């Protein structure tokens, strides 16, 4: 498994399993067990996914040493703020049945993020988290956090896929030594992505699936990807992307698909900011 080195020296697998939208405990537990059996070592969950407990059970049952796994979770908006983040982190740790997290993220850029960031820095210095970062932060919000806290996140997990390629944001992140990570690498199937003419033609050229082409395109850009699946055969397929390399022409051809806009929603839309800020999760 290829790895990227984060700005604090921690090595992170470039490919992992995301468990967003797998709230069913049995299905989530099986998916994580299957993924670890295939060879995945990065597992990405969040408090708001409501499946941390299932992920924890799967980790226990996997038989893989804790230090060989890279586990990520996130604090949701309702728990943003210093004291609430401290409590939310402990709750996530308890559900996961772990002594530490490899990575803990601020899930959305709203509310008292500086209070949360202070709490996370303390947990990091106490050794309870190996690295801290953010998700869904636009460059201006990220620079605000860096400039006014003096502590740079290791990662920014953002929507990144062939229709929203984030090249300018990646350039900004690289300049500030923040690793880019893709959520929704397959755009959750939007735009009929798995039957797309260009992606299908490139896949045919390498005898690979569209999903494999997309993941290969991301990792060749140095983007960490966490595709979600509950089907073991799909997970295995997604994992087989280290035995080929896309040509420069193919990389550029995929580049022509960029719409430079989200396939889901705008994190700067006032209505969406209000909705996410008020959205309560039964934690």
Confidence of residue 1 (pLDDT cuts 50, 70, 90): confident
Q: What is the pLDDT of residue 20?
A: 95
Output the pTM of the full model.
0.95
Question: pLDDT, tens digit, for every residue of 212-264?
Answer: 999 999 999 999 999 999 999 999 999 999 999 999 999 999 999 999 999 99
Q: Residue 281: which pLDDT band, with cuts at 50, 70 and 90?
A: confident
In this structure, are residues 151 and 121 in contact, taking their beta carbons and an 8 Å threshold? yes
What is the rounded average pLDDT for all residues in the chain?
96
Mean pLDDT value across residues 11-17 = 98
pLDDT score of 264:
92
| Domain ranges within the chain, ordered by starting residue | 3-278
Work out the average pLDDT over 180-194.
94
* CATH no. of 3-278: 3.20.20.100
* pLDDT in the model for residue 7: 98
What are 274's two structure tokens? 């209000």
Taking the C-alpha atoms of residue 83 and residue 116, their distance in angstroms, rounded to an integer, is: 8
SS3 120: helix
Query: Is 134:226 a contact under the CB 8 Å cutoff?
Result: no
Higher-scoring residue by pLDDT: 190, 154: 154
pLDDT above 90 for 125:
yes
Give the pLDDT confidence score for residue 227 in this predicted structure.
Answer: 97
**154's tokens:** 């290791």
pLDDT recorded at residue 282: 82
* 109-118 average pLDDT score: 98
Cβ–Cβ under 8 Å, residues 42 and 68: no
Complete DSSP assignment for 197-233: HHHHHHHHHHT--HHHHHHHHHHHTT-EE----S-HH
Active-site annotation, residues: 49
> Is residue 23's pLDDT more than 90?
no
Q: Is the pLDDT of residue 283 over 80?
A: no
Structure tokens at 28: 């989530």
* Cβ atoms of 153 and 123 closer than 8 Å: no
How far apart, in whole angstroms, are the C-alpha atoms of residue 226 and residue 213? 14
Work out whether the CA dihedral 58, 61, 64, 65 comes out positive or negative.
positive
pLDDT at 2: 94
């Amino acid at each position: 498994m290829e790895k990227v080195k984060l700005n604090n020296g921690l090595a992170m697998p470039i490919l992992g399993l995301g468990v967003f939208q797998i709230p069913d405990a049995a299905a989530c537990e099986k998916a994580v067990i299957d993924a670890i059996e295939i060879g995945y070592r990065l597992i990405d969950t969040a408090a708001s996914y409501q499946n941390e407990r299932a992920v924890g059970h799967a980790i226990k049952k996997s038989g893989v040493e804790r230090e060989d796994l890279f586990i990520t979770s996130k604090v949701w908006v309702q728990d943003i703020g210093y004291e609430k983040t401290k409590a939310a982190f402990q709750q996530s740790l308890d559900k996961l049945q772990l002594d530490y997290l490899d990575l803990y993220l601020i899930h959305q850029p709203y509310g008292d993020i500086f209070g949360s960031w202070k709490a996370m820095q303390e947990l990091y210095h106490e050794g309870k988290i190996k690295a801290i970062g953010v998700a869904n932060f636009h460059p201006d919000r990220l620079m605000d956090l860096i400039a006014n806290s003096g502590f740079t996140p290791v990662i920014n997990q953002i929507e990144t896929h062939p229709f929203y390629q984030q090249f300018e944001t990646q350039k900004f992140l690289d300049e500030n030594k923040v690793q880019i990570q893709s959520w929704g690498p397959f755009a959750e199937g939007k735009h009929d992505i798995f039957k797309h003419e260009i992606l299908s033609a490139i896949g045919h050229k390498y005898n690979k699936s569209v999903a494999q082409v997309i993941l290969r395109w991301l990792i060749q850009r140095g983007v960490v990807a966490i595709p979600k699946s509950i089907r073991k055969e799909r997970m295995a397929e997604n994992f087989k992307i280290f035995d080929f390399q896309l040509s420069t022409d193919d990389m550029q051809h995929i580049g022509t698909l960029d719409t430079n806009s989200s396939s889901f929603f705008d994190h700067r839309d006032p209505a969406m900011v209000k909705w996410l800020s008020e959205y309560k999760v039964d934690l």
